[in-house]
C-alpha cells in the first residue's frame, strides 16, 4: 500500500489500485462511507445509454448471499442511511453507520459493487422500474428543459444524453451485456472509497482491502473526450401554461484556474435570494416566481445555467434582464461590498456543511475525484478570501463578455418563438 497523510486525512492505495481516503472528524458520532465509481453516462456508447444508472438499480436487487428483502433488512439493521445515484461521470453508493458497524457497512457496500445478481428475471423487472422513472421525468418540465438544454449544448457528445437513457436503449439491455459493462468498469483503478466522521484510517484500510480488494486491477480509465459547445435556441412543446427556460453558457471544468471566481459569480448572479437576477426579475419586476443560476460542472467542462419559469408574455423582458445583468458583470465586475459579502457567505456555508459527515465525505471524494488529492477546507476558503475585484472582472469577461448562449424553452412555445426570444439574449 502507498500512503499519503495529513493531520486530518489519510489516503491509501490498495493492491488493486483502489483509493481509500479517510477524514477523521473528532466531534462526529457516526461515519459516512461512499464508494465512488469513476463511470457514468459519458462513458456509455449510444446503444448502451443509461446502462450506468441501470447497474446502480441492479446493485440493490440482491446477490447470491442475500435476496432483495434480506439486503434491505441488512442495511436497515445497521440503522444507517443508504443512498445511491448516478451522474454523467460517476456512480456513488453511500452509507452512514455507527463506527462499530464499519466492517459490516463495507461488507454491504462490497456486495453492491462486486456481487449484485444481474440475471434475466431481475433485469426485466428492473426495466419496468426505470421506464416508470423515465415517465416521471417526462412529466416534469423542469427535467425536460435540462435535457433539452444539454442536448443542444453538447450535440452528439455523451454529455448530451440523459442519465436515465431512453426507453429504447433500456429495453434492449441484455443481462450478459449489463454484466460485462459492470465487470469492465467496476474495477480497482476506477473506485474511490471515501469516509468521513468517527473513522479509524488503519481499520478502514484493512477492512477495505478485505472487502473491496477483490475488485480486479486494470489500467487507468480512458482519456476524456472534451465536447464542443453548440449555442443557439432549442424548443419543445409541452402542455403547460408557463414556459420553463434554461439559459446556459460554457465554462471551464472542476479544476479550472477560475473555478473559485466562477463560484462567486454564480452566487452573486442568481444562486442566492439576494442575487441580481432574483432581486431584479422576481422582487422588483415580478416577472417570475422562480429564477436561479447554478454552475453545472464536469471534470473538463461546465455550464453556467440560469433557470426560470415564466408566463410567455414575460419571457422577452425576463431575458432582457438576464442580458443586461450578465453584461453589467462582464463590463463592471462586482463591487467591493458584494465581494466582501460573498466571502463571508462562503465561510458560513462551507463551515456549516463541515458539520455533516455526509457532506464532508462527498467533499473529500470530489477533491480526490477531480484533483487526485485532499483539498483542505482552509485551502478552499483561503482561495476565495484571496480573490480581488480584478480577478472577478477577468473571470466574468472570460465567461460572459460576448459569449454565446444556449436557450432551451419548454412549454407553450414554437421553434419560431424560441428564435425570437433568442434574438433578445443574443443582441
Contact (Cβ atoms closer than 8 angstroms) between residue 97 and residue 80: yes
Domain range summary for the chain, segments of one domain joined by +: 2-212, 232-426
**CATH second-level architecture of 232-426?**
2-Layer Sandwich (3.30)
**CATH second-level architecture of 2-212?**
2-Layer Sandwich (3.30)
Looking at 8, 23, 44, 56, which residue is catalytic?
A: 56
- Can you give the pLDDT at residue 163? 98
Could you check whether 2-212 and 232-426 share the same CATH topology? yes
Distance between CA atoms of 308 and 61, rounded to whole angstroms?
A: 38
**C-alpha distances out from residue 102 to 4, 13, 201, 202, 382, Å:** 22, 19, 11, 12, 33
CA angle 292, 293, 294 (to 5 degrees): 130
- Can you give the pLDDT at residue 8? 79
Three-state DSSP string of 143-165: HHHHHHHHHHHHCCCHHHCCCCC
- Can you give the pLDDT at residue 427? 54
Tell me the chain's radius of gyration from C-alpha atoms.
23
pTM, two decimal places: 0.94
* Strands of the sheet with 406-411, listed across from one edge: 232-237, 406-411, 243-252, 301-310, 290-297
- Can you give the pLDDT at residue 218? 81
pLDDT tens track, the chain, 427 positions: 554 444 479 999 999 999 999 999 988 999 999 999 999 999 999 999 999 999 999 999 999 999 999 999 999 999 878 999 999 999 999 999 999 999 999 999 999 999 999 999 999 999 999 999 999 999 999 999 999 999 999 999 999 999 999 999 999 999 999 999 999 999 999 999 999 999 999 999 999 999 999 999 986 677 789 999 999 999 999 999 999 999 999 999 999 999 999 999 999 999 999 999 999 999 999 999 999 999 999 999 999 999 999 999 999 999 999 999 999 999 999 999 999 999 999 999 988 888 899 999 999 999 999 999 999 999 999 999 999 999 999 999 998 887 799 999 999 999 999 999 999 997 5
- Can you give the pLDDT at residue 284? 97
56 is catalytic: yes
Distance between CA atoms of 230 and 406, rounded to whole angstroms?
A: 7
For residue 416, count other CB atoms closer than 10 A to its CB: 10
**What beta strand segments (E) does 238-314 contain?**
243-252, 290-297, 301-310
**C-alpha distances out from residue 397 to 134, 238, 256, 322, 393, Å:** 39, 35, 15, 15, 6
Distance between CA atoms of 337 and 341, rounded to whole angstroms?
A: 6
Amino acid at each position: 500500500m502507498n500512503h499519503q497523510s495529513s493531520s486530518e486525512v489519510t489516503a491509501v492505495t490498495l493492491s488493486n489500485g483502489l483509493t481509500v481516503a479517510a477524514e477523521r472528524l473528532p466531534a462526529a458520532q457516526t461515519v459516512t462511507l461512499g464508494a465512488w465509481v469513476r463511470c457514468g453516462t459519458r462513458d456509455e456508447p449510444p446503444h448502451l445509454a443509461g446502462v450506468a444508472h441501470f447497474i446502480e438499480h441492479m446493485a440493490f436487487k440482491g446477490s447470491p448471499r442475500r435476496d432483495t428483502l434480506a439486503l434491505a433488512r441488512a442495511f436497515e439493521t445497521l440503522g444507517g442511511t443508504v443512498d445511491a445515484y448516478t451522474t454523467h461521470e460517476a456512480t456513488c453508493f453511500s452509507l452512514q453507520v455507527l463506527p462499530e458497524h464499519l466492517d459490516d457497512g463495507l461488507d454491504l457496500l462490497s456486495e453492491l459493487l462486486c456481487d449484485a445478481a444481474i440475471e434475466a428475471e431481475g433485469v426485466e423487472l428492473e426495466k419496468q422500474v426505470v421506464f416508470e422513472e423515465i415517465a416521471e421525468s417526462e412529466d416534469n418540465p423542469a427535467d425536460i428543459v435540462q435535457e433539452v438544454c444539454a442536448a443542444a449544448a453538447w450535440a452528439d457528445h455523451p454529455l448530451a444524453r440523459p442519465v436515465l437513457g431512453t426507453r429504447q436503449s433500456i429495453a434492449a439491455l441484455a443481462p450478459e451485456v449489463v454484466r460485462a459493462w459492470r465487470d469492465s468498469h467496476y474495477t480497482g483503478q476506477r473506485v474511490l472509497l471515501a469516509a468521513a466522521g468517527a473513522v479509524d484510517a488503519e481499520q478502514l484500510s484493512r477492512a477495505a482491502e478485505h472487502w473491496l480488494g477483490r475488485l480486479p486491477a486494470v489500467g487507468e480509465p480512458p482519456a476524456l473526450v472534451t465536447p464542443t459547445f453548440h449555442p443557439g435556441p432549442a424548443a419543445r412543446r409541452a402542455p403547460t401554461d408557463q414556459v420553463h427556460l434554461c439559459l446556459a453558457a460554457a465554462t471551464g471544468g472542476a479544476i479550472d484556474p477560475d473555478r473559485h471566481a466562477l463560484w462567486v459569480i454564480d452566487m452573486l448572479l442568481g444562486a442566492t435570494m439576494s442575487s441580481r437576477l432574483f432581486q431584479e426579475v422576481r422582487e422588483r419586476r415580478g416577472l417570475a416566481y422562480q429564477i436561479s443560476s447554478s454552475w453545472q460542472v464536469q471534470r473538463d467542462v461546465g455550464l453556467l445555467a440560469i433557470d426560470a419559469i415564466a408566463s410567455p408574455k414575460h419571457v422577452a423582458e425576463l431575458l432582457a434582464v438576464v442580458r443586461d445583468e450578465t453584461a453589467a458583470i462582464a463590463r463592471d465586475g462586482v463591487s467591493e461590498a458584494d465581494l466582501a459579502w460573498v466571502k463571508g457567505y462562503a465561510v458560513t456555508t462551507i463551515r456549516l456543511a463541515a458539520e455533516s459527515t455526509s457532506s464532508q465525505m462527498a467533499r473529500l471524494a470530489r477533491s480526490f475525484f477531480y484533483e487526485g488529492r485532499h483539498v483542505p477546507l482552509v485551502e478552499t476558503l483561503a482561495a476565495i478570501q484571496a480573490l480581488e475585484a480584478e480577478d472577478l472582472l477577468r473571470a466574468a469577461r472570460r465567461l460572459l463578455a460576448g459569449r454565446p448562449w444556449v436557450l432551451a424553452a419548454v412549454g407553450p412555445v414554437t421553434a419560431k418563438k424560441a428564435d425570437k426570444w433568442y434574438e433578445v439574449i443574443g443582441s
